[in-house]
Structure 1
Amino acid sequence: MAPSQTDPSGSSSSQQHLPRDARVIALILASKGIDDTTPQVLHQLLEFAHRYTTDTLLDALTYSEHAGKGGKLDVEDVSLAVQAKVNWSFKEGGERDFLIPLAQSVNSNPLPPVPETPFLRLPNPKDLLTAPNFNLVPNKVSLSSPLSSLLPRVRTLPD
């Protein structure tokens, strides 16, 4: 920003060194009542805006190429990419009036009692991530080779 121009927000000179996009994001945050943030917040929001814009424009370019426009972007391509991104990325939760009775009905069922044992309760051994998923079984080869019975054979466990 040139020294002759003034910042429309009237902010302090500490934001003068920020890029224009960072100042815009700081203005948006200030308009929502968020005045005190760390610089990491601005960096994270800048990265999100850059990634979102890049992904959206790349999707629009893909739609344009699929439509046979030779890679020229139209407003329709960009709006389709934005609609697809909004439908995919930004999901709202359910309505509170719907979720509260549902949560109350689920939470009305008590959990089963935990047996009091002095040991750590582990799931079934076949459900553990550290459980072996194979067995070593000796090969069934002819009896003519005495050493062949000592060689292990790998066999997978049934599910």
Structure 2
Amino acid sequence: MAATNIKYIPKDAQVIMAILKELGVNDFDPRVINQLLEFIYWHTTITLDDARVFANHAKKKNIDADDVKLAIQIHAEKMSFAGPPRDILLELARSKNSTSLAPIKPQSGIRLPPDRYCLTQPNYKLKTNLLNSIKKVNDTLKIKSD
């Protein structure tokens, strides 16, 4: 009788495992496969839902490749941010760099920012020594009892 405890791995999971192996990832938690599959299904669902909206807007009965391409393009634009153009950044850098810095004051030793910005500032308070407190209480009790 053959062993029946062989686990069935879905085709999508096998594809994900093959991609990971091709990328050189051989040691991973099996839950990674489930997380990647969930992300892929979620992303595909969102993209196809958007493609359906675009097809409905164009009064088409079926989704075509152009609708899917448009949905993918819009998602890619949302996920990536190119930043401001280089010309604007250069102009901003020129204007900032045209202002000179304040001169450094001649001083010996380490120059640190104000205490409130330094990690060297103590962030605790010491309790009074418990033994000294007990000793003082005992001394006062002795004086009163005499």
| Band of TM-score, shorter chain | 0.5 to 0.7
1:36 deviates by 1.1
- Alignment coverage as a number of residue pairs: 92
| Cα RMSD after superposing both structures | 3.4
The residue number in structure 2 matching 1:89 is 79
Higher RCO (CA < 8 A, seq sep 6+):
2
Q: Which runs of 5+ in 1 are unaligned?
A: 1-13, 94-101, 103-108, 121-159
If the length of structure 2 is used for normalisation, what is the TM-score?
A: 0.52
Cα deviation code 1:6-59 (max 9, x no counterpart): xxxxxxxx7x52211111001001111111110121111111101110000000
Residue of 34, 48, 59 corresponding to 1:57: 48
Determine if the alignment matches structure 1 residue 37 to structure 2 residue 28: yes
| Structure with the higher fraction of residues in strand conformation | 1
1:92–1:27 Cα change, 3 Å: farther
If the length of structure 1 is used for normalisation, what is the TM-score?
A: 0.48
| Structure with the higher fraction of residues in helix conformation | 2
- Structure whose alpha-carbon radius of gyration is higher: 2
Alignment of 1:89-108 (within 5 A): 89-91=79-81
Q: In structure 2, what residue type is equivalent to 1:83?
A: Q
Secondary structure class of the residue paired with 2:36:
helix
1:76 deviates by 0.8
Instruction: Quote the Cα distance in structure 1 between the aligned partners of 2:73 and 2:18.
Output: 26
Q: Which runs of at least 4 in structure 1 moved beyond 3 Å after TM superposition?
A: 90-93, 117-120
